[in-house]
Amino acid sequence: MGPTERDMDADDEVPMAVSLTEQAGTTRATREIPSYRQNLSLDGPLKPVPVTLITGYLGAGKSTLINRILNTQHGYRCAVLMNEFGESADVERALIKEPEGEEASPLANWVQLENGCICCSVKNDMVKALEALLQQRASFDYILIETTGLANPGPVAAALWTDAELEAGVCLDAVVTVVDARNIRRQLADPPGEGAEVCEAAAQIAFADVVLLNKEDLVSEEELRAAHAELAGINGSAAVLACARCGVDLKYILDTGIYSGTGRLGVEEDPDACRPGCSDPCHRHGVSHGHDSKGQHRRGHAPDTVHASDIWAVTLRCEKPLDLRRLRLWMDGLLWERRSHGPDLFRVKAVLSLAGEGRRHVMQAVHDLYDVVPAAPWAEGEARASKLVLIGRRLEEGSLQRGLDECVAS
Amino acid sequence: MTATTEPLTELKCFKCQKPAKLQCPKCLELDLERDHAAFCSQQCFAASWVDHKRLHRPGPDGWHYATRRGAGRSLTMPDFNWTGPLRPWRISPMRSIPDSIPKPEWYSTGRADVEVSSRQQHTPIPRFGKAAEGIRAACTLGRKVLDLAHAAVAPGVTTDEIDRVVHEATIAAGAYPSPYNYFNFPKSVCTSVNEIICHGIPDRRPLENGDIVNVDVSVYLNGWHGDLNETFVVGEVDDVSKKLLKTTHECLELAIAACRPGMRYRDVGDIITRHASAAGLSVVKAYCGHGIGDLFHCAPNVHHYAHNKARGVMKEGEVFTIEPMICVGSHRDKTWPDGWTAATEDGLRSAQFEHQLLITPQGCEVLTARLPTSPPLWWEVEDASLAAKTGQVLSV
Tell me the per-residue pLDDT of B310-354, one tens digit each, with 9 for 90 and over.
Answer: 889 999 999 999 999 999 999 999 999 999 999 999 999 999 999
Query: If contacts are CB pairs under 8 Å, which of residues 202-241 in chain B contact chain A?
Result: none
B176 and B275, same domain (yes or no): yes
B175 vs A128: which has the higher pLDDT: B175
B47 and B130, same domain (yes or no): no
Average pLDDT for chain B: 92
- Cα B256 versus chain centre, distance: 21
Whether A114 has its CB under 8 Å from any CB of chain B: the answer is yes
B359 in any annotated domain: yes
pLDDT of residue B100: 96
User: Which chain A residues are closer than 8 Å to B67 by Cβ?
Assistant: none
3-state secondary structure of B114: helix
Whether the pLDDT of residue B388 is over 90: the answer is no
B163 and B237, same domain (yes or no): yes
User: Which chain B residues are closer than 8 Å to A25 by Cβ?
Assistant: 29
Q: What is d(CA A368, CA B265) in angstroms, rounded to the nearest whole number?
A: 14
- With CB atoms and an 8 Å threshold, state whether B25 touches A16: yes
The burial class, CB within 10 Å (0-12 / 13-18 / 19+), for B218 is buried
Range of B123's domain? 106-388
pLDDT of residue A111: 54
B144 and B280, same domain (yes or no): yes
Distances (CA, A) of B303 to B225, B264, B322, B323: 20, 11, 8, 9
Q: For chain A, which domains are there?
A: 5-260 (3.40.50.300), 310-405 (3.30.1220.10)
B152 and B291, same domain (yes or no): yes
CB A218 within 8 A of CB A181: yes
- With CB atoms and an 8 Å threshold, state whether A371 touches B84: no
B359 and B226, same domain (yes or no): yes
Distances (CA, A) of A262 to A257, A362, B132, B225, B382: 5, 9, 47, 44, 52
Strand A170-180, strand A49-56: pairing:
parallel
Q: Which amino acid is at B277?
A: S
Asked whether residue B167 is marked as a ligand-binding residue, the answer is no
Q: What is d(CA B390, CA B393) in angstroms, rounded to the nearest whole number?
A: 9
Q: Interface pTM (ipTM) of the complex?
A: 0.72
B65 in any annotated domain: no
Task: Find, in chain A, the residue whose alpha carbon is nearest to that of B52.
Answer: A14
The CATH number of the domain holding residue B242 is: 3.90.230.10
Distances (CA, A) of A74 to A2, A46, A250, A255, B249: 58, 21, 8, 11, 50
B164 and B46, same domain (yes or no): no
Whether the pLDDT of residue B300 is over 50: the answer is yes
What tens digit of pLDDT does each residue of B217-243 get?
A: 999 999 999 999 999 999 999 999 999
Length of chain B: 396
- With CB atoms and an 8 Å threshold, state whether B22 touches A31: no
Whether the pLDDT of residue B211 is over 90: the answer is yes
- A119 closest CB neighbour out of B26, B264, B297: B297
User: Which chain A residues are closer than 8 Å to B295 by Cβ?
Assistant: none
pLDDT of residue A190: 78
pLDDT of residue A91: 53
B243 in any annotated domain: yes
CB A95 within 8 A of CB A82: yes
Per-residue b or e along B353-364, where b marks 16 or more CB atoms closer than 10 Å to that residue's CB: bbbbbbbeeebb
Question: What total number of domains does chain B contain?
Answer: 2
B26 and B112, same domain (yes or no): no
B98 in any annotated domain: no
Q: What is d(CA A164, CA A259) in angstroms, rounded to the nearest whole number?
A: 10
A297 torsion bin: left (phi>0), alpha (psi -120 to 50), beta (else): beta
The burial class, CB within 10 Å (0-12 / 13-18 / 19+), for A103 is exposed
What string of pLDDT tens digits covers the 410 residues of chain A? 344 444 444 557 888 888 888 876 544 444 433 333 333 444 455 678 889 989 888 778 888 888 888 888 778 888 888 765 544 445 555 566 655 555 666 665 555 444 444 445 556 767 777 777 777 667 778 888 887 666 678 888 888 888 777 777 888 899 999 999 988 888 888 777 666 677 888 888 989 999 999 998 888 999 899 889 888 888 878 888 989 888 888 888 888 888 876 776 666 654 333 444 444 544 444 333 444 444 444 333 333 344 556 888 899 999 999 999 999 999 999 998 877 788 989 889 899 999 998 898 999 898 888 999 888 888 888 888 999 999 988 899 999 999 999 999 98
Query: What single string gives the DSSP state of each residue in B192-231?
Result: EETTEEE-PPP-SPBP-TT-EEEEEEEEEETTEEEEEEEE
User: Which chain B residues are closer than 8 Å to A15 by Cβ?
Assistant: 24-26
Best residue in B6, B28, B55, B304 to probe A by mutation, most A CBs within 10 Å? B28
- Cα B291 versus chain centre, distance: 18
Alpha helices (runs of H) in A37-191, residue ranges in sequence order: 62-71, 107-110, 125-136, 154-160, 184-189
- With CB atoms and an 8 Å threshold, state whether A117 touches B28: no
pLDDT of residue A7: 46
CB B296 within 8 A of CB B333: no
Query: What percentage of residues in chain B have a pLDDT greater than 90?
Result: 76
B208 in any annotated domain: yes
Tell me the average pLDDT across B131-135: 98
Asked whether residue B290 is marked as a ligand-binding residue, the answer is yes
B178 and B326, same domain (yes or no): yes
Q: What is d(CA A333, CA A339) in angstroms, rounded to the nearest whole number?
A: 10
B8 and B133, same domain (yes or no): no
Distances (CA, A) of A330 to A401, B92, B335: 12, 54, 40
Tell me the average pLDDT across B369-390: 89
